[in-house]
Amino acid sequence: MTLFQTMAQMDSISIGLWVTGFMLLFVVIGVRVAFAAALAGFLGLLWIFSAKMGFERGFLVAMKMAGTIPHSKVSTLALSLIPTFILIGFLAYHAGLTRALFEAAKRWVGWLPGGMGVATVFSAAGFAAVSGASVATSAVFARIAIPEMLKLGYNKRFAAGVVAASGTLASLIPPSAILVIYAIIVEQDVGALLMAGFLPGAFSALVYGGLVIFLAMTNKNFGPPVRGFSWKQRFESLPGALPIFFVVGIIVVCIYGGVGTPTEAGSLGAFVILCMALYKGMRWKELKGALIETAKLTVMIFTIIWGVLLYVRFLGFADLPSAFSEWISGLDQSPMMTLVFILLAYAVLGMFMDAIGMLLLTLPVVYPAVIALNGGEGVSVADSAFGVTDVGCSIWFGIIVVKMAEFCLITPPIGLNCFVVAGVRPECSVQDVFRGVMPFFVADALTIAVLVAAPGIVLWLPGLMGFA
């Protein structure tokens, strides 16, 4: 039997496994993820159709099918939200929001033990919320907050650790592009996901804040408080930071109150930040730079979305996700144990790969398995394995994996946030930052455990909206 005959006679699941194997090989040798997925998807379609109708017709059908996907998958109303969120991020710096936020936070919470650390956590959380980019947030605050903390006699490792960790708060607090991407891949409501991230994000920020206070109280001379701001000075610091609250507020109001679509909320936010940036002296040169960077990041995200969806199209023919789901839910151990293993696998994967790429590549196969693990579509709370409905499970799992992906930004060996802080501040070595971030790392692991154990924290707000 020739190779071609053998290939033509394989069952669809074996084809799925081979093609997925090829895709992983492409990814490992460094093919850009979007194209690795698209190539694997096309080869898979070609394989399946050639087996049915011969190579020439099979090639034509696979090519036509693949050719429709980039345009049709990209022109979806829900996805139009992504560039608006990204634009907000690139304009936020020009609107002078970082300094304004840090200054306001310093005046309001500086009196606490480790006050500057607490101020860093909250201002970074606020800025991260609008910028949506963890790494960039860490870089910006490494420039602003670390010098101030060192001047006050803060422990170097502590200061660096706070900044590296605070950047990771970005992905859960709305607006979060990565949650939008998750929602689209798993076909869940974008608004519900964005709302679901709000409490866990705020919760993480509070945990970080509490941890800073605890560390400053238990270690002498770790982080002295900053006193002496009058109430007048405190209130004076607020207007500069207001756009942040406006952006988060408008998104929450639009989506929660149902008075606008997420894209409209994102656009309103971008519009306000734009006005602010123009007022602060941004001109065409900076705007042009911000537009090009926004377009570039948008293209990157859209490319990986259609690339992966091309692969997903093939998976649909290959039945691989359902086979994987059957296998996972048939395992002889508790579903919770399996879920923990899946999360650990993400922790390892996240050490080597960008969060967006990692989620998009794995979700098409892993997500149906997690839903099946919970008891499948339409399961009632009583019958489910994790005590949540199918919709609840998809929202809850989304928040946990996104938190997991952010967690990887501060884990050795390549926690990107730690490298960037060390890179921006020559006085801190990478080891310093990794040591300083250690307590936050432990706190994050506990936060994830709490979110896994108590889905209610995630599902309360979406529940009020009628989801979950």
Binders of other proteins among residues 122 to 181 (CB under 8 A) are 131, 133, 135-136, 138-140
d(CA 395, CA 401): 10
Q: Which is nearer to other proteins, 13 or 430 (CB)?
A: 430
Binders of other proteins among residues 395 to 434 (CB under 8 A) are 414, 416-417, 419-420, 422-424, 430
Q: Which stretch binds other proteins (CB under 8 A): 170-178, 200-208, 255-263, 378-386?
A: 255-263
Q: Which is nearer to other proteins, 78 or 340 (CB)?
A: 78
| Alpha-helical segments (H) within 110-237 | 115-131, 134-151, 156-166, 177-185, 190-218, 231-236
Among 4, 53, 55, 63, contact with other proteins (rule: CB under 8 A): 63
Among 19, 79, 169, 457, contact with other proteins (rule: CB under 8 A): 79
Q: Which is nearer to other proteins, 269 or 463 (CB)?
A: 269
DSSP type of residue 78: G
Go through the chain and tell me how many residues it has. Answer: 468
Q: What is the closest distance, in whole angstroms, from the C-beta atom of residue 348 to other proteins in the complex?
A: 12
Q: Which stretch binds other proteins (CB under 8 A): 69-77, 174-182, 208-216, 439-447?
A: 69-77
Q: Which is nearer to other proteins, 360 or 373 (CB)?
A: 360
d(CA 87, CA 293): 9
**8 Å CB contact between 61 and 53:** yes
3-state secondary structure at position 185: helix
**Two tokens at 296?**
């570039």
| Cα-to-chain-centroid distance, residue 348 | 16
Q: Which is nearer to other proteins, 340 or 424 (CB)?
A: 424
Q: Which stretch binds other proteins (CB under 8 A): 116-124, 145-153, 333-341, 353-361?
A: 353-361
Q: Verify binding: residue 67, other proteins, rule CB under 8 A.
A: yes
Q: Which is nearer to other proteins, 140 or 248 (CB)?
A: 140
Q: Verify binding: residue 83, other proteins, rule CB under 8 A.
A: yes
C-alpha distance from residue 455 to each of 255, 310, 359, 451, 458 (Å): 21, 32, 20, 6, 5
Q: What is the closest distance, in whole angstroms, from the C-beta atom of residue 430 to other proteins in the complex?
A: 8
Site string for other proteins, 365-394 (x = CB under 8 A): ------------------------------
Binders of other proteins among residues 26 to 45 (CB under 8 A) are 26-36, 38-39, 42
Q: Verify binding: residue 264, other proteins, rule CB under 8 A.
A: yes
Peptide bond into 175 cis (omega under 30): yes
d(CA 405, CA 99): 28
Q: Is 426 exposed, middle or buried (0-12, 13-18, 19+ CB in 10 A)?
A: exposed
Total number of residues binding other proteins (CB under 8 A)?
Answer: 87
Q: Which is nearer to other proteins, 149 or 418 (CB)?
A: 418
d(CA 443, CA 412): 16
Q: Which is nearer to other proteins, 128 or 395 (CB)?
A: 128
Neighbouring C-alpha atoms within 13 Å toward the C-beta of 169: 33
3-state secondary structure at position 221: coil
Summarize the chain as % helix, strand, coil (round to 5).
Answer: 80, 0, 20
**8 Å CB contact between 415 and 437:** yes
d(CA 164, CA 428): 12
Q: Verify binding: residue 244, other proteins, rule CB under 8 A.
A: no
Q: Verify binding: residue 204, other proteins, rule CB under 8 A.
A: no
Among 50, 58, 94, 388, contact with other proteins (rule: CB under 8 A): 94
**8 Å CB contact between 35 and 70:** no
C-alpha distance from residue 274 to each of 270, 400, 442 (Å): 6, 32, 38
Q: Which stretch binds other proteins (CB under 8 A): 151-159, 311-319, 347-355, 443-451?
A: 347-355
Q: Verify binding: residue 102, other proteins, rule CB under 8 A.
A: no
**8 Å CB contact between 452 and 403:** no
Among 70, 376, 387, 456, contact with other proteins (rule: CB under 8 A): 70
Binders of other proteins among residues 283 to 322 (CB under 8 A) are 285-286, 288-300, 302-304, 306
Q: What is the closest distance, in whole angstroms, from the C-beta atom of residue 38 to other proteins in the complex?
A: 5
Q: What is the closest distance, in whole angstroms, from the C-beta atom of residue 417 to other proteins in the complex?
A: 8
Q: Which stretch binds other proteins (CB under 8 A): 22-30, 105-113, 225-233, 388-396?
A: 22-30
Binders of other proteins among residues 205 to 234 (CB under 8 A) are none
